[in-house]
Amino acid sequence: MARRVLLILTALALTAGTASAQISDGVIKIGVLNDQSSLYADLAGQGSVVAARMAVEDFGAAAKGLKVEVIFADHQNKADVGSSIARQWYDAEKVDMILDVPNSGVALAVSQITRDKGKAFLVSSAASSDLTGKACSPNTIHWTYDTWALANGTGNAIVKTGGDTWFFITADYAFGHALERDTENVVLASGGKVLGKVRHPLNTADFSSFLLQAQASKAKIIGLANAGGDTTNAIKQAAEFGIVKGGQSLAGLLVFLTDIHGLGLQTAQGLIFTESFYWDLNEKTRAFAKRFAERNRQIHPTMIHAGSYAATLHYLKAVEALKSDDGTKVIAKMKELPTDDPLFGKGTIRADGRKIHPMYLVEVKKPAESKYPWDYYKIRATIPAEQAFRPLDKGDCPLVKK
């Protein structure tokens, strides 16, 4: 009898020990999952790992007695590799939160798996607005930007200045389709016309044929609904074929600081696009950029890196407040707490998982206007947070009560 009581008490003690008010396994394990070796490696890649680690240090995890570990892996832009790693991380390696994940196809897969397993997913790279729309999840927060915000910023600005006929060159996967769809909506709503579209496989080397089709359409604006290496290839080859000289303009719908660095100001000057962060905005962002560049081979932070930093910081604050790293609960807490970090300033996270902050319309400087390394952008306009993202009720997100 005594033995049985002892057993029951031990069982109770053990279950009490594993009740929700505890950090699972004593470690907050963060997994940075992104493209480390292919066309998105520079804009996210190791930089996101650096950003996450900086956030952990700045949060002061050690001083607060919290053990935080950051690991990373390469999803090679493949949905099956990404979801295998996510599963293995959650099941076997006790990862609590997955960060980054560029490539919307992979992000959608990881979002589903995270939801099934009740963990947390902070998307600082992927773009598809579906992540807070029809594919929204109580375990996912979409940081940094999305296709709707880009379309709204860039699309509106360009149509207003007379670019009312468009031709799209689109990367043939979830992100490209989402970006094309959202931009097309903006163009049509502003009274413009879409004269044609062509889809290209991810990681295309030769855009000559697509550019010729764009040229033949005589559209004023050639919208590049792609990213990373695809965008830079298209821009370079457009110069070869005299597209801009012939009177058409290129609109990069998703361009990063590292793309401009790769292209050079000579080729990239005059490009207009939307970003949510620029390292040279103010003193705080400059200070961060200096520290980051030292740890990242002098490459300055893109908005992805900034997003990874800010998301990790806010996540850790929520975990500290909740004293638990249970995924679903932490995400709920993150939506509850207002955000505040040196990079994006003050902001909020909506019910659909969308983080809100201002967006900036930028223009690439001419070579003569650039005074120091990485001095690439002029800020043309600031879009306030409430206007920058798709209205809460327009997204078809089941989490949003109508």
Partner 1 sequence: MAVAKESADAPALALNLPETPRHQYLAFAVMVVFFVAAPFFVYPLFLMKALCFALFACAFNLLIGYVGLLSFGHAAFLGSAGYLAAHAAKVWGWPPEMAILTGTATAALLGLIVGALAIRRQGIYFAMITLALAQMIYFFCLQTPFTHGEDGIQAVPRGMLLGILDLRQTMTMYFVVLAIFLAGFLLIYRTIHSPFGQVLKAIRENEPRAVSLGYTADQYKLIAFVLSATLSGLAGATKALVFQLASLTDVHWTMSGEVVLMTLLGGLGTVFGPVVGAVIVVTLENYLAQLGSWVTVVQGFIFVICVLTFRRGIVGELGNILKKPL
Partner 2 sequence: MSTVFGVPTQALFGQLLIGLINGSFYAILSLGLAVIFGLLNIINFSHGAQYMMGAFAAYFLLQWAGLGYWWALLIAPLVVGLFGIVLERTMLKRLYQLDHLYGLLLTFGLALIIQGLFRNEYGSSGLPYSLPTQLTGGQNLGFMVLPNYRAWVVVLSLIVCLGTWYVIERTKLGSYLRAATENPALVQAFGINVPRMITLTYGFGVALAALAGVLAAPIYQVNPLMGADLIIVVFAVVVIGGMGSIMGSIVTGFGLGVVEGLTKVFYPEASNTVIFVIMALVLLVKPAGLFGRER
Give the bridge partners for 341, in sequence order.
Answer: 345
User: How many CA atoms lie within 13 Å of 291's alpha carbon, on the beta-carbon side?
Assistant: 17
25: contact with partner 1 by CB under 8 A: no
Contact flag: residue 79 with partner 1 (CB under 8 A)? yes
Q: Does 83 bind partner 1 (CB under 8 A)?
A: yes
Closer by beta carbon to partner 2, 80 or else 206: 206
Which one of the spans 45-53, 104-112, 253-261, 290-298 is the region binding partner 1 (CB under 8 A)? 104-112
Under the rule (CB under 8 A), what is the footprint of partner 2? 36-39, 41-42, 198-199, 201, 205-206, 208-209, 212-213, 215-216, 228-229, 233, 237, 240-242, 245-246, 262
The strand ranges marked E within 127-244 are: 140-142, 165-171, 193-200, 221-225
Q: Which residues pair with 31 in a beta bridge?
A: 71, 98
Stretch that binds partner 1, among 107-115, 185-193, 251-259, 340-348 (CB under 8 A): 107-115
* Crossing angle of helices 283-295 and 45-59, rounded to 10°: 120
Strand-pairing partners, residue 167, are 196, 222
CB 107 within 8 A of CB 136: no
Element at 263 (helix H, strand E): helix 257-263
DSSP run (H or E) holding 196: strand 193-200
Question: Residue 91's binding partner, choosing from partner 2, partner 1, none, with beta-carbon cut-off 5 to 8 A by kind?
Answer: partner 1
The stretch among 45-53, 74-82, 234-242, 293-301 that binds partner 1 (CB under 8 A) is 74-82
Q: Which is nearer to partner 1, 134 or 160 (CB)?
A: 134
Residue 201 Cβ vs partner 2, minimum distance, rounded to whole Å: 8
Rounded to the nearest angstrom, the gap between the alpha carbon of residue 396 and the centroid of all alpha carbons in its chain is 21
Q: Residue 106: how many CB atoms within 10 A of its CB?
A: 28
Residue 37 or 298 having the CB closest to partner 1? 37
Residues that bind partner 1 (CB under 8 A): 36-37, 73-74, 78-81, 83-85, 87-88, 91-92, 104-105, 108-109, 112, 172-174, 201-202
